[in-house]
Structure 1
């Protein structure tokens, strides 16, 4: 009888230990996944801020630069394409992130062309509302960079948590998958050519 209780006690301790270990791994993964989702929300907020500024910038430039219509149209179309892509951070794939990144790069590229064309309009460059919008846009680009960096910083511990042994075994059983990082846009390693 005593021997049976000892064996039952040892089995109970082992079962409780395994349960605590497995639930700890899962709970840590859930906590880190929430950090990734929060960071993704911050990325979206920064991009939304930029998308909200674009119509004001385009309207301001339109008043000065009537014959820059093709550049203005390119900015509007790039913005529309970028806002049309949505990603669920819990199921994000590298392909989805690449498509999102490509659309956002299109916005950045068309904005750069717009700002270069603005150099031809000294009155526009001196306009207070344009200068304020340009400063806000520069600030927003910095916020986007920061949000993307923080997203990558949130992805790293999550990926480390689910990829290290023996956690990777349980992560596979729970269906947890590695999350992709933001990467530099294609061509970002080359200097930007500015022509006046």
Structure 2
């Protein structure tokens, strides 16, 4: 029985098409999964920032409970909180969005740290139960923010490795997956603005 070159060609073509389809299907699903992880970790960062925002009114109330507080310092903190609350962006983990969020949070943290410096002048206030409890909550929140930012950078790195690595970079180009940026060195996790209490 003679070999049929046409049949071999079509069989080879079908196998190649099937392999390409499997490659593009698995690459696409992998990138979608990693992109969703980036979004999830970004939302976790936002959630932790929101927790910080939610604790700021308690800080203001605690300081106001003192008979002698610096009104201008508290006013700046309240204004910084309002500005940061307006920029609480969820979902879209774009570099522009988290740059805006970081700038607003840096202002909030600077104002909160000024209020804490004022509190240092009032030893009686520092030992009240409400302040000690608030201090614990804020310190816990700052730790959570650090972990969330690290998780976000890790998710961005894993996503970028897939998008930039060959041959998945071909599928990334076909389906429009772009490289994402994580927190940069100037506002990276080791230099992130943080509410700090002196012991």
Structure 1 residue aligned with 2:58: 56
Greater shift in the superposed pair: 13-22 or 97-106: 97-106
Distance between the aligned counterparts of 2:76 and 2:93, measured in 1?
31
For 2:56 and 2:30, the matched residues in 1 are separated by: 40
Instruction: Note closer, same or farther for the CA distance 1:67–1:88 as it changes in structure 2 (3 Å cut).
Output: closer
Where do 4+ consecutive residues of structure 1 move more than 3 Å? 86-91
Q: 1:61 to 1:40 in 2, by over 3 A?
A: same
TM, length-normalised to structure 1: 0.88
Cα deviation, residue 87, structure 1: 3.4
Q: Gaps (5+ residues) in structure 2?
A: none
Secondary structure of 1:64 counterpart: coil
Partner of 1:104: 105
Aligned residue pair count: 188
Match of 2:77 in 1: 75
Deviations 1:155-187 (A, max 9, x none): 10101111123322321221111111113439x
CA RMSD in angstroms comes to 2.1
Q: 1:1-196, aligned counterparts within 5 Å?
A: 2-64=4-66, 66-87=68-89, 89-90=91-92, 92=94, 94-183=95-184, 184-185=186-187, 188=191
Q: How far apart are residue 22 of structure 1 and its match?
A: 1.2
Residue pair 1:119, 1:125 contacting (<8 A) in 2 also: yes
> Tell me, which stretches of 5 or more residues in structure 1 are unaligned?
none
Q: Is the 8 A contact 2:153 2:183 kept in 1?
A: yes
Q: Is the 8 A contact 2:38 2:93 kept in 1?
A: no
The whole-number CA distance in structure 1 between the counterparts of 2:63 and 2:48 is: 22
Distance 1:141-1:88 versus aligned 2 partners, 3 A rule: closer
Deviates more, 1:57-66 or 1:34-43: 57-66
